Amino acid sequence: MANLGLMITLITVLICLSSSFTKSSKGIKIDLPKSLNLTLLTNPSTISAASQDFGNITTVTPSGVICPSSSSDISRLLHYAANEKTTFQVAARGQGHSLNGQASVSGGVVVNMTCLADDVVVSKDKKYADVAAGTLWVDVLKKTAEEGVSPVSWTDYLHISVGGTLSNGGIGGQVFRNGPLISNVLELDVITGKGEMLTCSPKLNSELFYGVLGGLGQFGIITRARIVLDHAPKRAKWFRMLYSDFTAFTKDQERLISMANDIGVDYLEGQIFMSNGVVDTSFFPPSDQSKVTDLVKKHGIIYVLETAKYYDDPNLPIIREVVDKLKQSLSYLPGFISMHDVSYFDFLNRVQVEENKLRSLGLWEVPHPWLNLYVPKSRILDFHNGVVKDILLKQKTASGLALLYPTNRNKWDNRMSAMIPEIDEDVIYVIGLLQSATPQTLPEMESVNAKIIRFCKDSGIKIKQYLMRYTRKEDWIEHFGSKWNDFSKRKELFDPKKLLSPGQDIF
């Protein structure tokens, strides 16, 4: 989860930068037999790259890295590890977009999944694409769009791997309409912790299929995914509207995600501007930018409803109808609506533009103490008052994005490992507190995150975390709730020696 205001926030707040620093683990020497025909890379630059991740908080040092030329390479590695008396653990790594070392392994072997980023193969009927797990979503978009189709759900950031995303869930502004990315998979090729190469789907090896989707890499390494496709629109009409009233903001968000498909929007998210942070006004015309800043100063908090409607050139009358409906039916602050017309690709790839700018300024590889939560609709006002007003707004500085938007929980398949709040409600809210830190400010930000979690627990708000890493088994048991027994059984069934993804710290 990322967004466009990240650049301005980081440039303003980050002064003193360094590489990841929190903890380091020394690996053990691993000698793979020649019969495996695998090269274990142990040069310092490769080890260093595999020891750190996007979070830039934790360093976890493996003994080596393999760059597989085929799925069978991974199968041989895991089969060998599973049958040796003195064994080692294995972590699959795509782009390393984890936050706390989940994609690495202390003293074990990292499998560089980007080595298996093959071409995207679109089916003849254009209803699905077969994609290698190491492929980036942006490349899936490019290849499928050439055929006039594309996946139907997306994360905000496309430069992450297919396999890594499906191992977590994959959420973004399209979830309310088409579900998370894991809800749009027809079939998988998976290599279990025993080295078995299995194809799975809802009807074939279904226990593995549902376990792997959102399973945090615990049951197998995804090597291929069959992704649902639909028509690829050409354009996106992209809107942002400002609110000073939280109830009006959430009411309009919930209304938009419930609108009929023939006129409803295709993307919806929300941001929070706070007076103790940097306000990104770049989306609005220059004549309005100072007014937006003044609004935030006046109210302390301003809410940004962000939405988009996809379309093709012949459908312009429908777009005009959508624009009119938004203007007439929503309760945003009068005059504070701005819209852009962009290509479908540019809209979906919008965060990459900001990443490039940050990288050019040396402001990308910094600590990211992100906190991502799901909050029940019935408690979102309590969360807002207790967290946004009483914790975040009282920080000395807010150093990142705060995202808040609703989604329909019926778009999630409860048979999958991924967790959302176990409640009897139709709507849940996605919260993304995407802060960026310096080594000096990291402890404070981590303390704020802990305070937020403590507030939710003390207040009885049944949250679930996303992209989390717990260090106590009881926390994982609480996280998986009613799914824990099945989760544990699947671990024993598919990875009995507990070789896979030890960075998650579950078993």
| pLDDT score of 7 more than 60 | no
Which runs of consecutive H residues, i.e. helices, occur in 171-315?
A: 175-178, 206-212, 246-257, 286-299
- Sign of the CA dihedral running 451, 454, 459, 461: positive
State the pLDDT at residue 32: 94
Fold of 235-466: Vanillyl-alcohol Oxidase; Chain A, domain 3 (3.40.462)
- Cα 472 from chain centre: 23
| Architecture of the domain spanning 20-113 | 2-Layer Sandwich (3.30)
Q: What is the mean pLDDT of residues 403-426?
A: 96
Closest CA to 132 of 92, 165, 155, 163: 163
Among 247-251, 333-337, 355-359, the least confident range: 355-359
Q: Are 11 and 361 in contact (CB under 8 A)?
A: yes
Domain(s) labelled CATH 3.40.462.10 in the chain stretch across 235-466
| pLDDT score of 17 more than 60 | no
- Considering the candidates 79, 97, 368, 384, report the single residue annotated as catalytic: 97
State the pLDDT at residue 420: 97
State the pLDDT at residue 22: 34
Per the annotation, the verdict on 97 as an active-site residue is yes
State the pLDDT at residue 263: 64
Cα 443 to Cα 395: distance, rounded to the nearest angstrom: 13
Q: What is the mean pLDDT of residues 215-241?
A: 97
Closest CA to 119 of 153, 142, 88: 142
Closest CA to 3 of 158, 206, 119: 158
State the pLDDT at residue 23: 36
pLDDT cut 70: percent of the chain above it: 93
State the pLDDT at residue 262: 56
| pLDDT score of 18 more than 80 | no
Residue 260: exposure state from Cβ atoms within 10 A (0-12, 13-18, ≥19): exposed
Residue that wins the pLDDT comparison between 330 and 358: 330
Residue that wins the pLDDT comparison between 478 and 354: 478
Residue pointed to by tokens 């500085």: 397
Six-digit token string for 298: 């006046």
Strands 121-122 and 109-112: unpaired
Instruction: Give the H/E segment covering residue 429.
Output: strand 427-435
Mean pLDDT taken over the chain: 92
State the pLDDT at residue 128: 98
Six-digit token string for 154: 């997306």
User: How sure is the predictor about 261, in pLDDT bands with cuts at 50, 70 and 90?
Assistant: low
User: How sure is the predictor about 8, in pLDDT bands with cuts at 50, 70 and 90?
Assistant: very low
Residue that wins the pLDDT comparison between 22 and 4: 4
Q: What is the mean pLDDT of residues 479-490?
A: 98
Among 22-31, 160-169, 201-210, 457-466, the least confident range: 22-31
Per the annotation, the verdict on 269 as an active-site residue is yes
Fold of 116-232: 3.30.465
User: How sure is the predictor about 313, in pLDDT bands with cuts at 50, 70 and 90?
Assistant: confident
Burial readout 89-104 (b: 16 or more C-beta within 10 A, e: otherwise): bbbbbbbbbbbbbbbb
| pLDDT score of 316 more than 80 | no
- Cα 462 from chain centre: 21
Could you report the per-residue pLDDT of 384-410, keeping only the tens digit for each? 999 999 999 998 877 789 999 999 999
| pLDDT score of 11 more than 70 | no
Domain(s) labelled CATH 3.30.43.10 in the chain stretch across 20-113
Per the annotation, the verdict on 306 as an active-site residue is no
State the pLDDT at residue 4: 43
User: How sure is the predictor about 260, in pLDDT bands with cuts at 50, 70 and 90?
Assistant: low
Cα 316 to Cα 319: distance, rounded to the nearest angstrom: 5
Domain(s) labelled CATH 3.30.465.10 in the chain stretch across 116-232
| pLDDT score of 12 more than 60 | no
Q: What is the mean pLDDT of residues 480-500?
A: 98
Could you report the per-residue pLDDT of 133-187, keeping only the tens digit for each? 999 999 999 999 999 999 999 999 999 999 999 999 999 999 999 999 999 999 9
State the pLDDT at residue 87: 84
- Considering the candidates 156, 266, 306, 354, report the single residue annotated as catalytic: 156
Could you report the per-residue pLDDT of 104-123, keeping only the tens digit for each? 999 999 999 999 998 899 99
| pLDDT score of 3 more than 80 | no
Six-digit token string for 352: 């990459």
CB-CB neighbours of 105 under 10 Å: 29
User: How sure is the predictor about 423, in pLDDT bands with cuts at 50, 70 and 90?
Assistant: very high
Q: Reduced to 3 states, what is the DSSP secondary structure of residue 119?
A: coil
State the pLDDT at residue 355: 87
State the pLDDT at residue 65: 98
Please report, to the nearest 10 degrees, the dihedral formed by the alpha carbons of residues 59, 51, 436, 471 taken in order.
-50
Model-wide pTM > 0.75: yes
CB-CB neighbours of 121 under 10 Å: 13
- Considering the candidates 189, 252, 254, 269, report the single residue annotated as catalytic: 269
